[in-house]
Structure 1
Amino acid sequence: MGRSAQPSARALSALSLFATCGTLTEAAEHLGVTRSALSHRIAALEKQLGVALVRKAGRRIALTEDGERLLASVGDALDRIETAVQPFRRDRGQIRLSTVATFASHWLIPRIPIFQAQHPQIEVAIFTTTRPVDLKKEEMDCAIRHGRGAWKGLASTLLFEETLMPVASPDVADRLSSNAKQGWSGAPLIRARSRFMDWSSWQKHDRAFAGRRIKWLTVETRAQALDAAMAGAGVALMDMAYIATPVTEGRLKTLAECPLQLQTGYYFVHLPNARNLHLLTLLRDWAVEAARPFRTE
Structure 2
Amino acid sequence: MKTPRRLLPSISSLRALESLDRLQSASAVAEEMSLTQSAVSRQLQSLEQQLGMDLIVRDKKRLALTADAQDYAADVRQALTQISQATLRVQTAPLAGTLSLAILPAFGMRWLMPRLPDFSRLHPEITINMATRLEEFNFAVEPFDAALHFGHADWPGTQSLLLKHEQLLPVCAPSLLGGTKIFSPADILNLPLLHIQTRQLAWKHWLSSQIDISQRPLSGTMYDQFATISQAALHGLGVALMPDYLVEQDLAAGRLVALHPTPIETSGAYYLVWPETKSRHAALTKFRNWLATKSQPEDPLPR
TM-score normalised by the shorter chain: which range applies?
0.5 to 0.7
Q: Report the counterpart of residue 294 of structure 2 in structure 1.
A: 290
C-alpha distance after superposition, 1:22-75 (max 9, x if no partner): 99xxxxxxxxxxxxxxxxxxxxxxxxxxxxxx9xx9xxxx956411445968x9
Q: Report the counterpart of residue 124 of structure 2 in structure 1.
A: 120
> Does the CA-based 8 Å contact 1:161-1:264 persist in structure 2?
yes
Report how far residue 266 of structure 1 moved: 1.2
**Structure 1's 85 and 172: CA in aligned 2 closer, same or farther, altered over 3 A?**
closer
Could you tell me how far apart the structure 1 residues matched to 2:137 and 2:266 are? 24
Could you tell me how far apart the structure 1 residues matched to 2:249 and 2:286 are? 25
Q: Report the counterpart of residue 233 of structure 1 in structure 2.
A: 237
1:204 maps to which of 198, 208, 219: 208
2:100 maps to which of 96, 103, 108: 96
C-alpha distance after superposition, 1:136-188 (max 9, x if no partner): 443211111122102332111111122221112344467543898x9335532
> Does the CA-based 8 Å contact 1:90-1:275 persist in structure 2?
no
**Structure 1's 179 and 166: CA in aligned 2 closer, same or farther, altered over 3 A?**
closer
C-alpha distance after superposition, 1:57-100 (max 9, x if no partner): 9xxxx956411445968x98x94995597399375332110133
**Structure 1's 81 and 101: CA in aligned 2 closer, same or farther, altered over 3 A?**
closer
**Structure 1's 248 and 179: CA in aligned 2 closer, same or farther, altered over 3 A?**
closer
- In structure 2, the residue corresponding to 1:164 is in which secondary structure? strand
Q: What TM-score do the two structures reach when normalised by structure 1?
A: 0.64
**Structure 1's 82 and 291: CA in aligned 2 closer, same or farther, altered over 3 A?**
closer
2:275 maps to which of 252, 268, 271: 271
**Structure 1's 296 and 249: CA in aligned 2 closer, same or farther, altered over 3 A?**
farther
Percent identity of the aligned residues? 24
Q: Report the counterpart of residue 32 of structure 2 in structure 1.
A: 67
Residue 109 (structure 2) pairs with residue 109 (structure 1): no
Could you tell me how far apart the structure 1 residues matched to 2:33 and 2:226 are? 42
Report how far residue 204 of structure 1 moved: 0.5
Could you tell me how far apart the structure 2 residues matched to 1:162 and 1:293 are? 13
> Does the CA-based 8 Å contact 1:160-1:295 persist in structure 2?
no
> Does the CA-based 8 Å contact 1:93-1:123 persist in structure 2?
yes
Residue 139 (structure 2) pairs with residue 135 (structure 1): yes
**Structure 1's 208 and 151: CA in aligned 2 closer, same or farther, altered over 3 A?**
closer
Number of aligned residue pairs: 242
**Structure 1's 161 and 79: CA in aligned 2 closer, same or farther, altered over 3 A?**
closer
Q: Report the counterpart of residue 154 of structure 1 in structure 2.
A: 158
C-alpha distance after superposition, 1:209-244 (max 9, x if no partner): 777776623223233112211232221001223333
Report how far residue 133 of structure 1 moved: 3.1
**Structure 1's 148 and 221: CA in aligned 2 closer, same or farther, altered over 3 A?**
same
- Which range is displaced more, 137-146 or 97-106? 97-106
Could you tell me how far apart the structure 1 residues matched to 2:244 and 2:85 are? 46
1:244 maps to which of 248, 254, 259: 248
Look up the equivalent residue of 2:245 and give its one-letter code: A
C-alpha distance after superposition, 1:241-283 (max 9, x if no partner): 3333433444333211233322221111113452763322332
Larger radius of gyration: 2
| Aligned pairs (5 A) from 1:3-82 | 65-69=30-34, 79=83, 82=86
Residue 181 (structure 2) pairs with residue 177 (structure 1): yes
2:221 maps to which of 217, 221, 226: 217
Look up the equivalent residue of 1:191 and give its one-letter code: H
Look up the equivalent residue of 1:67 and give its one-letter code: E
In structure 2, stretches of 5+ residues that fail to align are 1-14, 48-79
Could you tell me how far apart the structure 2 residues matched to 1:294 and 1:190 are? 31
Q: What TM-score do the two structures reach when normalised by structure 2?
A: 0.62
Look up the equivalent residue of 1:93 and give its one-letter code: G
- In structure 1, the residue corresponding to 2:222 is in which secondary structure? strand
What RMSD over aligned residues (CA atoms) do the two structures have, in Å? 4.2
